Amino acid sequence: MSKLVAPHGSAELKPLLLDESAGQEELKRAQGLKKVPMASRETGDLIMMGIGAFTPLDGFMGQADWQGCCDTFSMPSRKNLFWPIPITLSASTETAGSIAPGEEVALWDLETEAIMGTMKVMEKYGIDKEHECKQVFKTIDPAHPGVQKVMEQGPVNLAGPVKVISESYYPSMFAGIYQRPADSRRVFEERGWNTVAALQLRNPMHGSHAYLAWIAIEVCDGVYVHQLVGKLKPGDIPAEVRVKAIDVLVSKYFRKDRVVQGGYPMEMRYAGPREALLHALFRQNYGCSHLIVGRDHAGVGDYYGPFDAQKIFNEIPADALLLRPLCMDWTFYCYECGSMASMKTCPHQSKAVIDEDGNYKGGARLLLSGTLLRKLMSEGKPVPAEFSRPEVIAVLKEYYDSLEQKVEVKLHGHATGAAEK
């Protein structure tokens, strides 16, 4: 019997992806069904259901579960099982109006123009989009990328069980990185791991990320470097570049028997604390016992406090998740200590001063962030050697040098230390 943590709300994984033979038959049948277009976020969520990462969901949520997720972190349809963010599919009034109750439809990805699955539409309902945004994102500011996505949704949500036909381009484009939960669990079990800490990554791995992973390895059997390969907001580094940058660091600076790399297809929502809970939930499905939660986990801008994503784990019922957070303080490179350190360990208070040529001019703490790294690289400015390994910087420099048009990267308080606690 496996010693890994059980999947969320289930004794076993519940993947909804059809095998190759059944998938081909379903695809043929889907050609004659009405098409419901899906945005990239919805397609990512469908694939997550397909591979079992969203166990035990069997489809897109109905109104009661939408309301429950927004207001009480729970799904009434599943005896109030814990779930922190609604997983929904929207449609235009015209599309929704053409679908009869109980009718099956083809789920069609707008980006790839491919049929990804089918759904039996059991419910059609409208939602209060501002209410969802206030509950999930704690803001209705249209500048927030997650809020923008919700407000752009169609006016009607469609709910019902799904059959997943395709994982899109992820298995081929990210071969060797992209994993289903069954894959990671198999690797963990082969290594005899019982405790596994997941490191969530949406940026290339800088020094603070590596430091957090090394700490986790000291207290767990191994670390799962789990990177998002779905879409991000404009200005973020493309997935294929991030994968390459992370791989060069992990391959050279980690013990191979203590680290596993993986990728997952979900799109970022930038929901801060709520998204940290969702990250924890599906990492439990991947077989992880812990999730590393550092500064501003899954945040964007200054919408959330730097450690709100840690605090929220103390606000949910103790039995909501089997996975537990590994809460880490703000980490940085300290010139006085001569090493990476954290707010809990380092006694030196002054901030490091780096000139425009990347030269150290004094002070102790060099605060590291993915946002600051992207800004320096996008503007062609030198990156201090203490920020990340030279192999990582080389990969990123090649990418930024290839860009014909630079995207402006704005710094926020958590990236610069202005919001330091």
- Exposure string (b/e) for 196-220, b if CB count within 10 Å is 16 or more? bbbbbbbbbbbbbbbbbbbbbbeeb
- Residue 149 token pair: 């996505």
Burial class of residue 411 in the structure, from the number of CB atoms within 10 Å of its CB (0-12 exposed, 13-18 middle, 19+ buried): middle
Q: At what angle do helices 129-136 and 63-72 cross, to 10 degrees?
A: 40
Give Cβ neighbours of residue 124 (< 8 Å, ≥ 6 apart).
96, 99, 101, 156, 157, 158, 159
Q: At what angle do helices 239-253 and 390-402 cross, to 10 degrees?
A: 160
Q: Work out whether strand 123-125 and strand 156-164 pair parallel, antiparallel, or are unpaired.
A: antiparallel
Before 142, cis peptide (omega within 30)?
no
The residue from 41, 180, 185, 202 that is catalytic is 202
Cβ atoms of 174 and 239 closer than 8 Å: yes
Cα gap 51→166, rounded to integer Å: 10
Question: Of the candidates 64, 83, 132, which has an alpha carbon nearest to the alpha carbon of residue 316?
Answer: 83
Cα gap 224→58, rounded to integer Å: 26
Cα gap 281→274, rounded to integer Å: 11
Count of Cβ atoms closer than 10 Å to residue 336 Cβ: 15
Give catalytic status of residue 202 as yes or no: yes
Q: Work out whether strand 156-164 and strand 59-60 pair parallel, antiparallel, or are unpaired.
A: antiparallel
Residue type, 314: N
Cβ atoms of 85 and 271 closer than 8 Å: yes
Q: Which residue has the tokens 């539409």?
A: 121
Question: Of the candidates 252, 240, 247, 265, which has an alpha carbon nearest to the alpha carbon of residue 399?
Answer: 240
Cα gap 63→71, rounded to integer Å: 12
Give catalytic status of residue 314 as yes or no: no
The residue from 41, 203, 285, 374 that is catalytic is 203
Q: Which residues are catalytic?
A: 202-203
